[in-house]
């Protein structure tokens, strides 16, 4: 009987438990965890935090971060724990930490901050890093593991090792192994040096450097060996980086010069206002962004055609008003277009501002492509490089495959003959000049992503552009491409030991000497085109 009664009781309890499960599910366990944290006396805080961590709740990291930032408060009346989104002014904007729902504003007098002391704050960092190590996103895990390098202490070794066994992503495993190895090297473990030998991370190097200064001769030897291999790899990466910067600078030069290669190289018109057409393109980008605030990406895409058009129209005006009257007088053309460049610069200064304007870089263009710890490529430069190549290819196609290109080549080779074949030479002049100017505008759009947009933007590029065109060989688009890329690379190669200014001077002197040796440039024109 007693057995029955006892069983009945246990059954009832079990039933009661079963009944209460749905009720518990509605009552979010997070609420209790947070209340516990808020109510815990300082000796129990750590326990409360561990409870939050052990709950495996996805929201745990956000809560702890808010806690660490003093953004966790309790409403005095209800005892509810809330997230403070904005704690400026008298009324604070708060949100429900469980649902993320915005609860509007509440007077700060009605709120009670959940207290935290510095000892806990220090530990919180490591705890959050461990939380991140358990995150679902492998990128988060990798970043967190990288952050752990050099920060591992005895307490973290065991959880890290446990994590390592579970980890699937190779990149994260490498990071955790490196983080553990740094700890072991610090403890004097020679075998761990081997692990670090492949790492390019500065903290791995720092650990090895410390090891190389230690007392144990074997450890010193191993560390030095590892350091030497790292040094080698770093040099390689450094070279790759220099090459990248060189090509990037080169592609900027190509962009700036390629329009000139059309107007100067193909048409033979010296346009000293070319730099200012670049500047117009850059200002167009700025203008389109002003028209479309908040959408820098769309604005940038739109300013590609817009920059082309603005510069092309400016080019047509210059051609019609001045250059056509100076046909066959190149030195006068040089002077007149220089005058135009002064007018355009001053126009921008007067109408817009003498100060530099900031052009926003859209999100998908900022940031960088991380190859390894020592090498990351900035995305905007990568985009500009691609853009330069596309513009170059498009120009090549226009000159080679279209009717306009055919006409241009005919008119430049033999104007009288071309005209007698029915080609309207004047129209071809206008179109060619518009094309060259428009490409300058495109260069401006690209440059706006790399440098300051100001009235002097064009001035800085005009001499370089002429150098590139002349160096590559006038009238030769391929020459311009090669010349631009190689001059950019040479400049970057010289920079580390000569400094930026001296490198530029050396390159200028080199070109001056080169032109005297080969006045027609790298790739002189041959055949009929060379006769003029």
Residues near other proteins, by CB under 8 A: 270, 322, 325-326, 328-336, 338-343, 345-347, 349-350, 463, 466-467, 470, 501-502, 504-505, 508-509, 511-513, 515-517, 519
Q: Which is nearer to other proteins, 70 or 459 (CB)?
A: 459
Closest distance to other proteins from the beta carbon of 504 (Å): 6
Long-range contacts of residues 138-145, Cβ cutoff 8 Å, at least 24 apart: 138/169, 138/171, 138/172, 141/167, 141/169, 141/172, 142/169, 142/171, 142/172, 142/175, 145/172, 145/175, 145/176, 145/179
Chain centroid to Cα 367, Å, comes to 3
CA 66, CA 70: separation in Å to the nearest integer? 6
Q: Which is nearer to other proteins, 222 or 340 (CB)?
A: 340
**C-alpha dist (Å) from residue 182 to 145, 160, 175:** 12, 13, 11
Closest distance to other proteins from the beta carbon of 503 (Å): 10
Closest distance to other proteins from the beta carbon of 351 (Å): 11
Backbone phi, then psi, for 458, in 5-degree steps? Answer: -65, -40
First to last CA, the chain: 121
Q: Which is nearer to other proteins, 289 or 341 (CB)?
A: 341
Tokens, residue 381: 């430069």
Closest distance to other proteins from the beta carbon of 508 (Å): 4
No. of H helices and E strands in the chain?
A: 21, 7
Closest distance to other proteins from the beta carbon of 321 (Å): 8
Chain centroid to Cα 360, Å, comes to 12
State the Rg of the chain over Cα: 34
Closest distance to other proteins from the beta carbon of 275 (Å): 11
Closest distance to other proteins from the beta carbon of 322 (Å): 6
CA 195, CA 199: separation in Å to the nearest integer? 8
Closest distance to other proteins from the beta carbon of 348 (Å): 11
Q: Which is nearer to other proteins, 134 or 456 (CB)?
A: 456
Q: Which is nearer to other proteins, 325 or 528 (CB)?
A: 325
Closest distance to other proteins from the beta carbon of 344 (Å): 8
Closest distance to other proteins from the beta carbon of 423 (Å): 24
Q: Which is nearer to other proteins, 110 or 504 (CB)?
A: 504
> Do 375 and 237 touch, CB atoms closer than 8 A?
yes
Q: Which is nearer to other proteins, 283 or 466 (CB)?
A: 466
Q: Which is nearer to other proteins, 341 or 449 (CB)?
A: 341
Q: Which is nearer to other proteins, 390 or 512 (CB)?
A: 512
Long-range contacts of residues 215-220, Cβ cutoff 8 Å, at least 24 apart: 216/188, 216/190, 218/190, 219/188, 219/190, 219/193
Q: Which is nearer to other proteins, 11 or 463 (CB)?
A: 463
Q: Which is nearer to other proteins, 244 or 264 (CB)?
A: 264
Closest distance to other proteins from the beta carbon of 480 (Å): 15
**C-alpha dist (Å) from residue 401 to 258, 393, 394:** 18, 11, 10
Closest distance to other proteins from the beta carbon of 251 (Å): 21
**C-alpha dist (Å) from residue 61 to 33, 97, 233:** 13, 11, 37
> Do 133 and 104 touch, CB atoms closer than 8 A?
no
- Cβ-based burial of 452 (10 A; exposed 0-12, middle 13-18, buried ≥19): middle
CB atoms within 10 A of CB 87: 16
Q: Which is nearer to other proteins, 380 or 465 (CB)?
A: 465
CA 38, CA 238: separation in Å to the nearest integer? 51
CA 463, CA 482: separation in Å to the nearest integer? 17
CA 401, CA 392: separation in Å to the nearest integer? 14
């Amino acid at each position: 009987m007693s057995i029955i009664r006892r069983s009945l009781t246990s059954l009832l309890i079990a039933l009661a438990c079963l009944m209460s499960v749905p009720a518990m599910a509605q009552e979010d366990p997070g609420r209790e965890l947070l209340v516990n944290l808020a109510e815990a006396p300082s000796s129990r805080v750590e326990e409360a935090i561990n409870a939050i961590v052990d709950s495996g709740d996805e929201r745990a990291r956000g809560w702890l971060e808010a806690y660490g930032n003093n953004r966790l408060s309790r409403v005095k009346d209800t005892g509810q724990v809330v997230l403070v989104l904005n704690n400026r002014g008298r009324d604070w904007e708060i949100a429900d930490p469980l649902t993320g729902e915005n609860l509007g504003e509440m007077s700060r007098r009605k709120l009670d901050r959940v207290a935290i002391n510095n000892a806990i704050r220090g530990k919180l960092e490591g705890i959050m890093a461990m939380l991140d190590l358990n995150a679902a996103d492998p990128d988060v895990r990798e970043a967190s593991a990288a952050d752990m390098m050099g920060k591992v202490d005895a307490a973290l070794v065991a959880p890290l090792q446990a994590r390592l066994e579970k980890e699937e992503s190779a990149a994260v495993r490498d990071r955790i192994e490196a983080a553990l190895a740094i700890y072991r090297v610090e403890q004097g473990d020679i075998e761990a040096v081997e692990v670090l030998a492949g790492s390019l991370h500065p903290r791995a190097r720092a650990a090895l450097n410390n090891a190389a200064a230690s007392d144990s001769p074997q450890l010193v030897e191993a560390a030095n060996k590892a350091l030497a291999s790292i040094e080698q790899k770093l040099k390689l990466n450094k070279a790759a980086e220099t090459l990248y910067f060189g090509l990037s600078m080169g592609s900027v030069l190509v962009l700036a010069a390629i329009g000139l290669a059309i107007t100067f190289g193909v048409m033979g018109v010296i346009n000293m206002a070319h730099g200012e057409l670049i500047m117009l393109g850059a200002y167009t980008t700025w203008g389109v962004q002003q028209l479309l605030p908040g959408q820098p990406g769309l604005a940038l895409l739109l300013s590609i055609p817009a920059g082309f058009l603005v510069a092309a129209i400016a080019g047509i005006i210059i051609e019609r008003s001045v250059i056509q009257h100076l046909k066959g007088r190149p030195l006068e053309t040089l002077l007149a277009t220089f005058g135009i460049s002064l007018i355009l610069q001053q126009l921008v200064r007067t109408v817009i501002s003498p100060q530099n304007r900031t052009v926003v870089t859209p999100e998908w263009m900022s940031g960088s492509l991380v190859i390894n710890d020592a090498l990351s490529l900035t995305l905007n430069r990568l985009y500009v490089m691609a853009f330069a190549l596309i513009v170059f290819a498009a120009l090549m196609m226009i000159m080679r495959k279209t009717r306009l290109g055919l006409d241009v080549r005919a008119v430049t080779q033999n104007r009288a003959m071309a005209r007698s074949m029915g080609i309207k030479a004047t129209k071809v002049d206008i179109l060619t000049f518009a094309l060259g100017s428009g490409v300058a505008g495109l260069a401006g759009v690209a440059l706006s992503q790399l440098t300051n947009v100001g009235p002097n933007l064009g001035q800085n590029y005009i001499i370089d552009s002429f150098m590139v065109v002349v160096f590559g060989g006038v009238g030769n688009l391929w020459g311009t491409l090669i010349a631009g890329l190689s001059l950019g690379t040479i400049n970057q190669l010289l920079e580390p030991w000569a400094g930026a200014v001296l490198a530029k001077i050396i390159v200028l002197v080199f070109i001056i000497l080169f032109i005297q040796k080969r006045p027609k440039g790298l790739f002189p024109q041959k055949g009929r085109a060379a006769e003029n």
